[in-house]
Amino acid sequence: MVRRAKAEHVRRAEIVAAMIVLGLTGSIGMGKSTAAGFFAEQGVPVLDADAVVHNLYAGEAVALIEAAFPGTTVDGRVDRARLGERVIGHPKEMKKLEALIHPLYRAAEEKFLAEAEKAGAKVAVLDVPLLLETGGAERVDAVVVVSAPEEIQHARLMQRAGMTQEKLLALLAKQMPDAEKRARADFIVDTSQSLDFARQQVHAILKQAESLPRRRNT
């Protein structure tokens, strides 16, 4: 019984000591990139999922996508506009694309986490816009949602070049409502006030994160 108790104590200590992975997400216009920058300021490794996909579209995924969707690549790169025409609004085609990209992205994510842990990081961040929509919460130890009131979100988006009310509504329709994301969050970063206010929240999250139990499925 004593040995079993000691073994259980060691196992729990290892779980607590393991690198904690935070999933950073938030709807468009909420300030997620800004929050990601605040984590990086503190020396936390941050993986930008959008950047990973961008690199895949310029490299490893090009041949696969051209084979599956002929005519969607130009000069050795995926033409996002052409690809979008083929998959947006076509669920079967979108699933085909996801079946090609997801394994490549997951490999990049796993490499990132392995390298971060090897380097001794206590916390790492996965910056994934559609983390909750795609079931990514199962791959992290805690979910951080970046949020702001709807009127602030809309005002930010309307300042973007070429944005219209119709485009704004179409973009929001593709994402999980902010209220639902907040309900599923372990931590919330409110970006409705100053940058320093948001930065302080990130610092507070990091102080708590290192003592969180590991819960992700790997």
Predicted TM-score (pTM) of this structure: 0.86
User: For the chain, which residues make up each domain, given as ranges?
Assistant: 16-45+122-212, 50-120
pLDDT digits (tens, 9 = 90+) for 100-131: 999 999 999 999 999 999 999 999 999 999 99
Angle at 130 between CA 18 and CA 186, to 5 degrees: 45
Q: How confident is the model at residue 218 (pLDDT cuts 50, 70, 90)?
A: low
Looking at residue 107, the DSSP 8-state letter turns out to be H
What is the architecture, at CATH level 2, of domain 16-45+122-212?
3-Layer(aba) Sandwich (3.40)
**Fold equal for 16-45+122-212 and 50-120:** yes
pLDDT digits (tens, 9 = 90+) for 127-181: 999 999 989 999 999 999 999 999 999 999 999 988 898 888 888 887 899 999 9
| Rounded distance between C-alpha atoms, residue 189 and residue 27, angstroms | 12
CATH 3.40.50.300 fits 50-120, yes or no: yes
Q: Residue 25: what are its φ and ψ, rounded to 5°?
A: -150, 175
